[in-house]
């Protein structure tokens, strides 16, 4: 027979309710390249390099795990802009292939580069708001 022992619940400082984190606010702050917590400090120290911590509120950014998600999201977004544009121009105007390539390739490259940093910032902001990975100070080991 198995006995289950239930440890008595003891209120500690760690058991205090965690601060509320708004996902939309954190996402928009990340889009602007700002700290998802305070909205003031910079999130990036280089083009795609997330800073170690916020210079204003001290929020630690090292637990973020954006990995390849921003790149996938940028591919989806840019694809949904460029492909319909290509189909529309091809069916309505049918310009020469070299002319089309001279427009679509730079357009794809420029849109991708413009969107990468904001999308990565948004991903880090959402991870912070949802307490993913190490952003949960109640359980910092994850
Ligand atoms: Zn901050």
pLDDT tens-place string over residues 85-113: 999 999 999 999 999 999 999 999 999 99
Indicate the DSSP class of residue 68: T
Residues 50 and 30: their CA atoms lie apart, in Å, by 11
Residues 86 and 88: their CA atoms lie apart, in Å, by 6
Using the mean position of ligand 1's atoms as its centre, give its distance from the Cα of residue 35 in Å.
5
DSSP, collapsed to helix, strand or coil, labels residue 108 as helix
Confidence of residue 16 (pLDDT cuts 50, 70, 90): low
Using the mean position of ligand 1's atoms as its centre, give its distance from the Cα of residue 72 in Å.
27
What's the pTM? 0.82
């Amino acid at each position: 027979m198995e006995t289950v022992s239930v440890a008595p619940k003891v209120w500690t400082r760690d058991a205090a309710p965690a601060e509320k984190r708004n996902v939309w606010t954190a996402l928009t702050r990340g889009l602007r390249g700002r700290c998802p917590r305070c909205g003031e400090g910079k999130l990036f120290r280089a083009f795609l390099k997330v800073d170690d911590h916020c210079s204003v509120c001290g929020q630690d950014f090292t637990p973020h795990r954006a990995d390849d998600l921003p790149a996938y999201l940028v591919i989806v977004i840019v694809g949904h802009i460029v492909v319909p544009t290509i189909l529309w121009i091809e069916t309505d105007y049918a310009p020469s292939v070299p002319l089309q390539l001279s427009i679509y390739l730079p357009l794809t490259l420029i849109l991708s580069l413009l969107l990468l940093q904001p999308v990565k910032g948004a991903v880090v902001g959402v991870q912070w708001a949802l307490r993913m990975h190490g952003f949960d100070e109640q359980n910092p080991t994850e």
